[in-house]
Chains A and B, each alone.
Chain A
Amino acid sequence: MKGMHKIGLIGDSDTIRGFSALGLATFEVIDRAGAVAAVQAALKGGFAVVFITERIYPQVEYLIRAARESTLPVFTVIPDNQGSTGLGQMRLRKMVERAIGVDILFKEEGKTNG
């Protein structure tokens, strides 16, 4: 896994436009089938990091989960241009729950002293 790798972005046309100018390899996704195809292509294409928008991620989560055994690519959820759905934070919270058993991450802000 050493060496040079590409960075990918899976998203809708409006979201990926700004990033394609930066030199990211972008996959434009319109429907569910397109999302599946994009993820499959991203899995094979020698990517290190693939960003995927929050609205598309749930449709292809099973594919990404299945590929989790391999170290690369790393899929990272980012909000699209319509704003965050909170999925990124949700995923973070799930990780905390898994590791610790309770959700301490977002509680500590809502409550004051237990």
Chain B
Amino acid sequence: MNIRVNPTRMELLRLKKRVRVAKRGHKLLKDKRDELMKSFMSLLRNVKRLRLTVEQKLRLGYQSFLIARAVMTPEMLDEAIMFPKQRIELEVAEKRMMSVTAPVFRLRQEGDVYAYGMASTSGELDMALGIFAELLPTLIELAGIERALELLAEEIERTRRRVNALEYVLIPTLEATVKSISMKLSEQERGAISRLMKIKDVVRAK
């Protein structure tokens, strides 16, 4: 596949420059892709581990909460947890890595999880809430790095497309065009030389 251009020396120089730029861009993008891949893989391990822990711990939490609900009357349970004493907020910062901006969360906790007296509630509720409270920082961490992973995945896909477009479309096209122009130019040159030789012969024959 060629680009349609005039077979002139000017065009040839211009195209050769474009090939050089494209090749450099290709190399840079390829390096970026490899580096993205590296961070993706290391992040992936973390996310996978965190997710498994979260799912396991959540199951435990739900189970003990179920038990708490079974021992207590619904009214008492609602009363106990209706007004949380604990206030939580998230501090959000940004972290940039390889042109991907991911949020980073920091948990701020205030007050106590156990917003009720001892008398009307069961120990099982304490346990369940304890598990949830312990799990919360992990959950937040998971939210942050899972998002980072998602963004990285998107960036990798984009970068890979660009690398492939350069490698398999743009660069070969440019190179083919460069080649065809230089062929045409040398053909012209040969034509000019043989014409000169012919003219010389004609002149000498006189």
Interface residues of A (CB under 8 A from B): 1-7, 15, 17-24, 48-49, 51, 71-72, 74, 76, 78-81, 83-84, 88-89, 92, 95-96, 98-100, 105
Contacts and interface: CB of A to CB of B under 8 A. Distances in A.
Given A18-B65, A19-B132, A76 B90 contact: no
Contact of B58 (A74, A78, A89, A95): A78
Interface string B139-162: 110111011011011101100000
Contact of A24 (B82, B88, B128, B143): B88
Given A22-B113, A23-B84, A72-B103, A48 B92 contact: yes
Q: Is the interface of A mostly helix, strand, loop or mixed?
A: mixed
Interface of B: 37, 40, 44, 47-48, 51, 54-55, 58-59, 61-62, 65-66, 69, 77, 80-82, 84, 86-94, 101, 103, 105, 108-109, 111, 113, 115, 128-129, 132-133, 136, 139-140, 142-144, 146-147, 149-150, 152-154, 156-157
Contacts of A72: 92, 103
B89 A96 contact: no
A100 B37 contact: yes
B86 A22 contact: yes
B133 A22 contact: yes
Given A22-B113, A76-B143, A81-B66, A7 B90 contact: yes
Nearest to A3: B92
Contacts of B140: 7, 49
Q: Is the interface of B mostly helix, strand, loop or mixed?
A: helix
Contacts of A4: 89-91, 108
Q: Which among B37, B109, B140 has the highest number of chain A CB atoms within 10 Å?
A: B140
Given A18-B62, A79-B59, A81-B65, A49 B90 contact: yes
Contacts of A98: 153-154, 156-157
Given A49-B105, A78-B139, A81-B62, A1 B94 contact: yes
A48 B44 contact: no
A1 B129 CA distance: 30
A76 B139 CA distance: 9
B115 A99 contact: no
